[in-house]
Amino acid sequence: MRIVLFAYLSFCLLLTNCKGDQVSKITKETQEQIDARTISQKDIEALRYTEFGLSSDSKKAVMDWQKFQELQTQTSALKKGDLSFFDGDRLLFKTFLLELITEMPPQLQTNEISARLTALDTKAQKLNSLLSLTNIDKAERLQAIKEFLVTVSNLNLQINKKFEFEKNNVLRPE
C-alpha cells in the first residue's frame, strides 16, 4: 500500500513539475527594446522643421482664445515628450478640436486661417490615432508628430501674416 501511495505521489509531482515549465516562461524586455519604441524629448528635438512663433499683435489677438492657449500649452508639452494629451480619449480630443475651431475670435476668421485650422484638425486626429495604437513603429509616430508641429507653426505664421498685412494697410483689388 505504501508503494502504491509513493508511486502515485511521485507521478503527481512529476506531472506538476512538467506542466510548470511550459506555463511559466516570462520574456523580459531589455532597455534597448523599450527605448526603440518609446518617444522621448530627444527624439522630438531631433525633428527638423521651421518653427514660427506669434508676433506681439498676434499674441494680443489670441489672448482670449482659450482653446488656442490650451493648444499652445499642449504643443509645448508635446515638444518635451509628454504625449498624454495627444494619445488620450478620441472623443475628448475631437471635441477639443471642434471647440478650437468654433471659438475662433471673429477678427481671425479668414479663409486662410480657417484652412490652417482644418489642416491642424486633420493632422491632430492622425497623430491621436497613431499614438493610441501600439503596433505603429516609432518612425511613423515621429513623422506624425513632425507633421502636427509643422501645421501648428503654419497656423502661427498665417495669424502673423494677417496682422502684418493689416499693419501695412495693403489695398486688395476688388
What pLDDT does residue 133 have?
Answer: 86
What pLDDT does residue 65 have?
Answer: 94
Residue 156 has pLDDT above 90, yes or no: yes
What pLDDT does residue 30 have?
Answer: 74
Confidence of residue 17 (pLDDT cuts 50, 70, 90): low
Residue 144 has pLDDT above 70, yes or no: yes
Task: Compute the distance between CA of residue 30 and CA of residue 7 in angstroms, rounded to an integer.
Answer: 44
Q: Is the pTM of this model over 0.95?
A: no
Question: Who's near 46: CB < 8 A, 6+ residues apart?
Answer: none
Domains along the sequence of the chain with CATH: 39-168 (1.20.120)
What pLDDT does residue 24 have?
Answer: 45
Report which of 43, 48, 50, 36 is spatially closest to residue 142, judged by C-alpha positions: 43
Residue 25 has pLDDT above 70, yes or no: no
Confidence of residue 28 (pLDDT cuts 50, 70, 90): low
Per residue in 64-122, pLDDT (tens digit) is 999 999 999 999 999 999 988 988 888 998 999 999 999 999 999 999 999 999 999 99
